[in-house]
Amino acid sequence: MQIHKLHDGELSQAEFGIRAHRLSQAAAAGLQVPEGYVMADAQAAIDDLEAFRVVITEIVEPGQLYALRASPGRPDWGGPYTLLSLGMNDEIHARLKSNGDPFVANELYRQAIVTYGIAVKNLEAEPFDTLVESFGDFTAMTSIDRSDGLLMATRALYEAETGIAFQQNPVQQIVNAVQAMARGWQAPTARILRMAKGAPVDAHLALILQKMVHGLGSKNGVGRAQFFDAETGQPAISGIFVTNTLTAGGASPKRQWSISDPSAPSLKKFDAAAFEALIKAEDKITNAIGDAPEVKFVIEQGRFYVTEVMLARRTPRASLAILRALVGRGALSEQQALLRIDAGSIAGMLHPQIDPDAPRESIASGIAASPGAATGRAVFSSEAAMAAAAQGESVILVRHETGPEDIRGMHAAKGVLTIRGGNTSHAAVIARGIGLPAVVGAQDLRVNYTEGHIKRGDEIVMREGDIITVDGTHGEVIAGAPKMIESNIGESIDDVLRWANAVRRMGVRVNADTPDDARRALRFGGVEGIGLCRTEHMFFGENRLSAMSRMILSQDDNERDQLLRQLERDQRSDFIELFEIMKGKPVTIRLLDPPLHEFLPNPEDDLTSFSRSVDIPTDTLRRRIRSLYEINPMLGMRGVRLGIVFPEIYEMQARAIFQAAAAVNKEAEKPVVPEIMIPLVSAVREVEVVKASIDRIARGIVEDQATEVPYLLGVMVETPRAALRAGELSKVVQFLSMGTNDLTQMTYGLSRDDAGRFMRKYVQDGVYEEDPFLTLDIDGVGELLVEAARRGRGQNKDLLVGLCGEHGGDPKSIHFCALQNFDYVSCSPFRVPIAQIAAAQAEILLKTNF
């Protein structure tokens, strides 16, 4: 059996669990940690019970009390509660009673019996609590007779419930306790809970058998302290110290001492030397663990003992400030600090807040469960949230309360509102974990899922589909969309991103469709360019949609030409702005992609006002719109197929791009080299046809304006065939950009827009490990990407390879891209810092051969 002394150097977390690992680090750093032994595997220890008993017999010292503590592999894997005062029996009790405070001796024994009974003998806690109540005011128990009486009654109850007397043999107590803890660890619910937190099926439990230091009496005590503000991450000591911990201590009631406030009854005043020891301990522990600790300690007879070292709790924002401080004081290197960051959690810090001066129509308040504010359509089910998100719509998920089945819906939503719940309810915990603004426990509201409305009292204040805003920073629910202001992530992110940008090799670009998007993205700094400008979004502005729809519907060549020229002017001015904002950085412009019907109204709707605006009679209009009908438009007339069938659209776009580039480059210090990208390609001939016409237009611009317009041409790899034919394609283009949204859709044969209907069940039942639209499917889609990059680079050694699907903002997918040596990923603006940090982490891991 493996049993190690806690003080024999640093014990590994993998083998001895997190608690033993940290305590051994503290001991190795020279702090006083109560002596103890660590069993690496509780189950293995008791498999040979006789051998184990021999070991424990050798360890246990006569008259000594022990604590048995669980040391799971990770803090969130659970594990049985600590058992205190093991070894307690009549003999020790009698000694304590005659040598010390008899009330304390009684209470210690009583607690030992109760906790042992519950943990080892599976007894209920309630009868013991009732017993205590029946003895009256327990905290003011001043008569020793009553105290003795309570102890006797407790023993009697224990005997009545178990049928035997309380175990007197310390070794046997410990052996039984270890058996009980090993059993508890293997219980089905414990297994399920820890596996949900990522524990392997065969996760073992280490146990620490440690000498007790109680800190009993009025001169001694127990405390806990942390050294950074949990909200801001600024250095600030806080905590509490308690003397007379056993409350049935006769005339001496429990006393609390503040650690943070020197003016209140404080530890500093109570015991300056102990306070000093605490400060010194912090320095040693922080350096030893390279993180901000929360320390549990005991002061006994002037000695300062560390009994537990945990990581201090902190908000994601505070965690960055703490990392910065740790790097500043040399406890961590920048690269170690980067590896500590959960890149995904950065998203929550980047959410906008409601402008405090903006008018707002508040409909309820609740608990501010997860910071940030978000606006979207109110949806009442996770399915609806996923379906809407798949179409790029922002939604707020409104539920009575959430459960595990809602996690994917929460991922899809921009914010969450629940009627029930508190700060640690499911919605609050999950929302904080994924950085989603959330208000929970908005109890004044009633949601009616069937009728599709939210009521306050008798009044309907909102219907499903209405625009709603949740302010997770202040716990407010607002009707409509009040003015937002950009996020304030704090200064630490600047340092973190500086470290990340210095170490990462892979580029990070941004998906930005409009000049506004581009401006917002540049504020994050370190962005290498625009990796995807979905030009169709430029047609949705005021006046433009009408020109676009009229152009699509027109049957008169002259009118079409005119409308195309109007669109060209609009596009040109957008591109000029984009190029100016990006100051010579790459801008990847994707030619028109969506099916044309997306620019037209639904033919079954009332077309009266639209018919007036386009000046086409309603019935003709309906007929023309219907003529564009496709059974499966996502696999129909879209992407490059539009460019082949209606070449004038791509030509118009190419002209706008080149004219804009020529205009900007006249003045620019660094000329822009537009990267023109063709969507949904599946055959090289498609590219050749489009390329010929783009080249011709470029030559025309050169002749007209007597200026060169250098540009790169590329294709999106969004169909499996494009991935497989990447070698051939790369002979005629300069870059490939992996469009993993469509590529995932087409590889799985799984509609992006409808997957929400069954994805939850698929993921819940483990059919898919993850939603492949959120996190890249490395095995399938990933293999296509690897092949495409390999074949492409094989034919064109200068080929640029990027990725611009949603996966470009997902840490796991970004790691994959870095591993494959992609030149860049491109993601939405708020995900830029995530991508920069994830790319840096991948680089560090690659360099250090993790």
The catalytic residues are 426, 804
Binding flag, residue 409, ligand PEP (CB under 6 A): no
Tell me the site size for ligand PEP, rule CB under 6 A.
10
Binding flag, residue 87, Mg ion (CB under 5 A): no
| Helices 13-28, 272-289: crossing angle, 10 deg rounding | 140
Sign of the CA dihedral running 636, 640, 646, 650: positive
Instruction: Report in angstroms how near the CB of residue 196 gets to ligand PEP at its nearest.
Output: 31
The neighbouring-strand residues paired with 446 are 455
By C-beta, is 163 or 749 nearer to Mg ion?
A: 749
By C-beta, is 740 or 841 nearer to ligand PEP?
A: 740
DSSP 8-class letter at 139: T
Binding flag, residue 282, Mg ion (CB under 5 A): no
Binding flag, residue 344, Mg ion (CB under 5 A): no
| Per-residue binder mask for Mg ion (CB under 5 A), 663-702, x = binder | ----------------------------------------
Interacting span for ligand PEP (CB under 6 A) from 10-18, 467-475, 488-496, 739-747: 739-747
H or E element in which residue 68 lies: strand 66-71
| Helices 492-503, 832-847: crossing angle, 10 deg rounding | 50
Interacting span for ligand PEP (CB under 6 A) from 523-531, 620-628, 733-741, 766-774: 733-741
Binding flag, residue 437, Mg ion (CB under 5 A): no
Binding flag, residue 534, ligand PEP (CB under 6 A): yes
Using alpha carbons, select from 484, 479, 483 the residue that is nearest to residue 363: 479
Hey, is 800 helix, strand or coil?
strand
By C-beta, is 180 or 532 nearer to ligand PEP?
A: 532
| Helices 188-196, 170-186: crossing angle, 10 deg rounding | 60
* C-beta of residue 287 within 8 angstroms of C-beta of residue 331: yes
By C-beta, is 120 or 827 nearer to ligand PEP?
A: 827
- Among Mg ion, ligand PEP, none, what does residue 760 contact (CB within 5–8 Å per kind)? none
Percentage helix, strand, coil for the chain under 3-state DSSP, each rounded to 5: 50, 20, 35
Instruction: Report in angstroms how near the CB of residue 805 gets to Mg ion at its nearest.
Output: 7
User: CA of 583: how far to CAs of 513, 528, 577, 772, in Å?
Assistant: 16, 11, 10, 35
* C-beta of residue 341 within 8 angstroms of C-beta of residue 835: no
Q: Which of 115, 588, 740, 813 binds ligand PEP (CB under 6 A)?
A: 740
Binding flag, residue 813, ligand PEP (CB under 6 A): no
467-481 burial, b for 16+ CB within 10 Å, e for fewer? ebbbbbbbbbbbbeb
Binding flag, residue 41, Mg ion (CB under 5 A): no
- Among ligand PEP, Mg ion, none, what does residue 19 contact (CB within 5–8 Å per kind)? none
Interacting span for ligand PEP (CB under 6 A) from 139-147, 684-692, 737-745, 753-761: 737-745
By C-beta, is 86 or 781 nearer to Mg ion?
A: 781
By C-beta, is 170 or 595 nearer to Mg ion?
A: 595
Binding flag, residue 820, ligand PEP (CB under 6 A): no
Binding flag, residue 805, ligand PEP (CB under 6 A): yes
- The structure tokens listed for 775 are 């996190």
Interacting span for ligand PEP (CB under 6 A) from 160-168, 341-349, 407-415, 738-746: 738-746
Interacting span for Mg ion (CB under 5 A) from 104-112, 287-295, 738-746, 772-780: 738-746
Judging by beta carbons within 10 Å of its beta carbon (0-12, 13-18, 19+), is residue 83 exposed, middle or buried? buried
By C-beta, is 568 or 742 nearer to ligand PEP?
A: 742
Q: Which of 479, 804, 835, 842 binds ligand PEP (CB under 6 A)?
A: 804
Q: Residue by residue, what is the 3-state secondary structure of 388-399?
A: HHHCCCCEEEEE
Residues 588 to 607 in contact with ligand PEP, rule: CB under 6 A: 593
Sign of the CA dihedral running 568, 569, 570, 572: positive
326 vs 397: CA distance, rounded Å: 38
- The structure tokens listed for 111 are 């607690």
381 vs 513: CA distance, rounded Å: 30
| Residue carrying structure tokens 């790169």 | 712
425 vs 448: CA distance, rounded Å: 21
Binding flag, residue 531, Mg ion (CB under 5 A): no
Binding flag, residue 514, ligand PEP (CB under 6 A): no
Q: Which of 34, 249, 344, 739 binds Mg ion (CB under 5 A)?
A: 739
CB atoms within 10 A of CB 542: 6
Hey, is 699 helix, strand or coil?
helix
Q: Which of 513, 574, 742, 810 binds ligand PEP (CB under 6 A)?
A: 742
Instruction: Report in angstroms how near the CB of residue 742 gets to ligand PEP at its nearest.
Output: 3
List, in order, residues 6 or more apart from 161 with CB less than 8 Å away. Answer: 117, 121, 123, 127
By C-beta, is 476 or 718 nearer to Mg ion?
A: 718
CB atoms within 10 A of CB 230: 17
By C-beta, is 93 or 590 nearer to Mg ion?
A: 590
Instruction: Report in angstroms how near the CB of residue 582 gets to ligand PEP at its nearest.
Output: 19
Instruction: Report in angstroms how near the CB of residue 207 gets to Mg ion at its nearest.
Output: 54
Binding flag, residue 809, ligand PEP (CB under 6 A): no
* C-beta of residue 274 within 8 angstroms of C-beta of residue 267: yes
- Among ligand PEP, Mg ion, none, what does residue 534 contact (CB within 5–8 Å per kind)? ligand PEP
- The structure tokens listed for 499 are 């470290």
End-to-end CA distance of the chain: 31
Binding flag, residue 639, ligand PEP (CB under 6 A): no
Instruction: Report in angstroms how near the CB of residue 506 gets to Mg ion at its nearest.
Output: 21
| Per-residue binder mask for ligand PEP (CB under 6 A), 751-790, x = binder | ----------------------------------------
Using alpha carbons, select from 399, 351, 346, 344 the residue that is nearest to residue 372: 351
657 vs 571: CA distance, rounded Å: 8
By C-beta, is 334 or 742 nearer to Mg ion?
A: 742
- Among Mg ion, ligand PEP, none, what does residue 805 contact (CB within 5–8 Å per kind)? ligand PEP
Cα 220 off chain centre by? 41
Residues 434 to 453 in contact with ligand PEP, rule: CB under 6 A: none
Cα 723 off chain centre by? 31
By C-beta, is 391 or 555 nearer to ligand PEP?
A: 391
Binding flag, residue 394, ligand PEP (CB under 6 A): no
Binding flag, residue 674, ligand PEP (CB under 6 A): no
Residue 131 is which amino acid? Answer: L
Binding flag, residue 742, Mg ion (CB under 5 A): yes
Interacting span for Mg ion (CB under 5 A) from 619-627, 683-691, 712-720, 783-791: 712-720
DSSP 8-class letter at 350: T
Binding flag, residue 638, ligand PEP (CB under 6 A): no
Q: Which of 741, 751, 775, 795 binds ligand PEP (CB under 6 A)?
A: 741
Hey, is 339 helix, strand or coil?
helix
Residues 692 to 721 in contact with ligand PEP, rule: CB under 6 A: 718
C-alpha torsion 594→595→598→599, nearest 10: 90
By C-beta, is 471 or 686 nearer to ligand PEP?
A: 686
DSSP 8-class letter at 803: E
Point out the residue whose Cβ comes nearest to Mg ion: 742
Tell me the site size for Mg ion, rule CB under 5 A.
3
523 vs 512: CA distance, rounded Å: 13
Instruction: Report in angstroms how near the CB of residue 735 gets to Mg ion at its nearest.
Output: 16
β-bridge pairing 675-678 and 361-365: unpaired
Note the residues at the interface with Mg ion (CB under 5 A). 718, 739, 742
Note the residues at the interface with ligand PEP (CB under 6 A). 532, 534, 593, 718, 739-742, 804-805
